[in-house]
Structure 1
Amino acid sequence: MMDSVLLSVIIPTYNEREAVPALVERVRRALGTVPYELVFVDDSTDGTDALIAALAREDPRIRLLHRTGQRGLAAAVVEGIGAARGEVLCVLDADLQHPPERIPDLLDAMEQTGADLVVGSRYLPGGSYQGLDWFRRLMSRVATRLAQLLLRRARVVSDPMSGFFAFRRSVVEGVELRPVGYKILLELLVRGHFHKVAEVPYVFEARAAGRSKLTLRQNLEYLRHLLRLLPANPEDLRFVRFGLVGSSGIAVNTAALWGLVRLGMHYRPAGALAIAAAVTWNFLCNDAFTWRDRRSQNRRTKLRRYLRYWAVTGVGSALQYSLYLVLTAAGLPYLLSNLLGIVVAVGWNYRMHGSWTWKTTEATITRVVYRAT
């Protein structure tokens, strides 16, 4: 376990007076000789801040940041990150549902695997969320699936909703964190700088004291947070952009086909020319819009990508054109046959253009599961 690097344990609190003494003692026993500080960021109105201040007078490792007029767990953690002095930071809820005894496992996972970020997961074998009732379990699952559907980096871990995790300071250096609500890990996953993440299974325990702070307002704030994070990573809106470009390509293709047929050209050569016009249009728009973060910087690169685009799209176009011919010959209207062919080609084109035409050298994120021995 890391015993030479200062650990900052950031604990947001809101009316957790009953839980704080037990939390401080359990952290003290769990960390033993590990150099650490406890950074409490408190929004309480029940005297929790006075209790923490009294504990801080007895133990210099305890620090208190008391906020007035401010609310929000995630924002509290961000303030704690700014005040923390450690090179390794750990986020822990004050209600004892995150077992402090597992903090050494997070540190061991970081040291043994070289991970930048270590996440405590309720969804790995050996973990559970027994501390939640059935309704909150359902809400947690729905929130997890929604995040993983919308945010590519949320799929890196099994439990992006976890509030129990540790990370190196380098993960947030130079990063502007702007969370909404209470899910700070999502903010780090999407905006943070990391190349390797480890997951450690843990049991989410029943609340020892007080009551849950989860409200309808916080659920709505979570949805706002997801929407705010969508533009942060180019990958998360890329398919939407690709779809918009594709839609414009359909318009170009359909207009060209209609115009050529109206001018008296046979539907076969008209279809081929309409495809060529749409492919060229789509390449230019995708280079400037869909993959704008990888945009061609010179003519040579653009020409090479254009040729690759044709190679990839050629396969999709062959599928499209074959369906167009077969379905039109079978009696379907030629415009409908053309549209069905386009739909079939979209999946192939998007996957191959992202992995080859606009291939990126961006480092991939490695995920490992660590189990304490």
Structure 2
Amino acid sequence: MDISVIIPTFNEGNNVRIIAKRIEEALQPTGKSFEILFVDDSTDNTPELLEQLSNKDPFVDYLHRTNRRGLATAVTDGLKCALGDNLVVMDADLQHPPELIPAMIDKLSEGFQMVVPSRFVPGGSDGGLNFYRKFVSWTARTIARLALKRLRKITDPTSGFFAVKRSAIQGNVYHPIGWKIMIELIVRAHITSIAEIPYQFHARDLGSSKMSGSEQLRYLIHLARLVMISEEDRKFFSFCAIGLSGVIVNLAIYKVMLLLRSPVVLAFMLSSIISMASNYVLNSTLTWKSRSVRQANRQMIQFLRYAAVAAGGLCISSGFLSFLYYMIHFRPMFSGLLGIVTGVIWNYVMNDRWTFSPKKASVPANTVETVAQHVQK
């Protein structure tokens, strides 16, 4: 089987005949073998309509689930049951144009692991969504791209319309929640070769929106889970949390030493050194665990590098604060906040690339190609 089109449905019986007909008209001229697999969680008469459709068209099949529900698990169940070498996932609400599937398959044949139709490349359109829908979509995309490095070169990472090679996702276990399965596949399958093509998002014709408040919360939980299992994304958040713990350690020791009537400067210096050592130990065992060293001499070299980076960060953040406050005349607290942010970024980047530098790159860089052409519908 060349192509499997997987379509989750929930009480969308009015759409299934329309979308099946449009997919047939789009794929039959290609000469490729294909199937349409509906994964149905409906509580209305949609299963009866799917049964009639599958009896009429041999390329249509469906799976009606009664023991569990959810868009993400519907897609993963469909991926398991599908027979095609190329897998296409799309919604049944007629917002995703089936006429684009041949172009998606052509891009997969060029060697890409995944193809994502995007509303935000030249030739694409969001279909005139209202302000609220645009804001929710922009927020979801922005959070995803900030949280997960693999998504930063993708203009439409929250799309529910994509094609992926079966070979790219085999051998992995998926635990999706919420409504954005594509992000789950990209992160857990380590997909790095992605092409984007433009498409015209169609305003909703039939059915109801899946963008409820509870689904948006599940989306945030989903992103957090993916960050935790992705070392390249977890590092920065771990580094920031450890930095915060270092501030607490520093202040606590400083207070104790002052209570013991130690000289102020000595108390400050010792508490700073101890907190720095604490941060180094935690970062070497948690943030950069895969790059940790065991030899005492190499650990000492790493610690000295860590201290040098911290000293450089203090100089840079102090200099930036001074520039903002004295030259630009920003407010003291705002200048201090920007100075801290600058120092954190410096410390993270330098420690990642120098203090705990890897012997070799373990993860290939993302390859994302944007095909700036308009595909006729």
TM-score band by shorter chain is: 0.7 to 0.9
What is the deviation of 1:35? 1.8
Which residue does 2:19 correspond to in 1? Answer: 23
2:15 counterpart letter in structure 1: A
TM-score by length of 1: 0.82
State the identity as a percent.
Answer: 41
- Secondary structure at 1:39's aligned position in 2? strand
Work out which of the residue numbers 32, 35, 38 in structure 2 matches 1:37.
35
1:137 pairs, out of 97, 114, 134, with 134
Partner AA of 1:173 in structure 2 = Q
**Structure 2 counterpart of 1:233, which letter?**
S
Cα distance in 1, alignment partners of residues 338 and 218 from structure 2: 40
Q: Which residue number corresponds to residue 181 of structure 2? A: 184
Partner of 1:100: 98
User: Cα distance, 1:79 vs. partner?
Assistant: 0.4
1: CA distance, partners of 2:366 / 2:281 = 30
1:12 matched to 2:8? The reply is yes
1:57 is the counterpart of 2:58:
no
| Residues 213/282 of structure 1: CA separation in 2 closer, same or farther (3 Å cut) | closer
The equivalent of 2:78 in structure 1 is: 80
Aligned ranges 1:318-357 → 2 under 5 Å: 318-319=315-316, 345-357=343-355
Query: Alpha carbons of 1:368 and 1:301: their partners in 2 closer, same or farther (altered >3 Å)?
Result: farther
Quote the Cα distance in structure 2 between the aligned partners of 1:180 and 1:155: 21
Shift of 1:144: 1.9
Native 8 Å contact 1:10 1:39 kept in 2: yes
**What's the secondary structure of 1:181's corresponding residue?**
coil
Matching residue of 1:121: 118
Shift, 1:77, TM fit = 0.3
Alignment of 1:242-261 (within 5 A): 242-254=239-251, 259=257
Q: 2:202 aligns with which of 201, 205, 209?
A: 205
SS of the residue 1:244 aligns to: helix
Out of 234, 239, 255, the residue aligned to residue 236 of structure 2 is 239
- CA RMSD for the aligned pairs? 3.2
Cα distance between partner residues in 2 of 1:343 and 1:228 = 25
Distance 2:237 2:207 in 1: 44
Give 1:332's aligned residue.
none
Aligned position for 1:371 = 372
For 2:122 and 2:104, locate their aligned partners in 1 and report how far apart those are by CA, in whole Å.
Answer: 16
Q: Please point out which of 164, 168, 171 is paired with 1:171.
A: 168
Matched, 1:280 2:281: no
Q: Aligned partners of 1:344, 1:133: CA distance in 2, in Å?
A: 37
Q: Output the TM-score relative to the length of structure 2.
A: 0.82
Query: SS of 2:79's equivalent?
Result: helix
3-state SS in 1 of match to 2:365: coil
Cα deviation for residue 70 of structure 1 reads 2.5
Q: 1:61 to 1:280 in 2, by over 3 A?
A: same
Aligned length: 354
CA deviation after TM superposition for structure 1 residue 46, in Å? 2.7
For 1:214 and 1:254, locate their aligned partners in 2 and report how far apart those are by CA, in whole Å.
45
Distance 1:173 1:308 in 2: 41
Question: Within 2, Cα distance between the matches of 1:372 and 1:108?
Answer: 14
1:153 aligns to 2:150 (yes or no): yes
How far apart, CA to CA, are the structure 1 residues paired with 2:263 and 2:134?
A: 62
**1 CA distance for matches of 2:217 and 2:241?**
28
Secondary structure, aligned partner of 1:63: strand
What's 2:330 paired with?
none
Q: Which string of whole-angstrom CA distances, capped at 9 and with x for unpartnered residues, describes residues 226-279 of structure 1?
A: 333331223433333222322333345456666389766583x77655544443
Amino acid at match of 1:87: D
Unaligned residue ranges in structure 1 (runs of 5+): 325-337
For the 8 Å contact 1:272–1:321, the answer to whether it is kept is: no
Q: Does the aligned pair in 2 maintain the 1:170–1:193 contact within 8 Å?
A: no
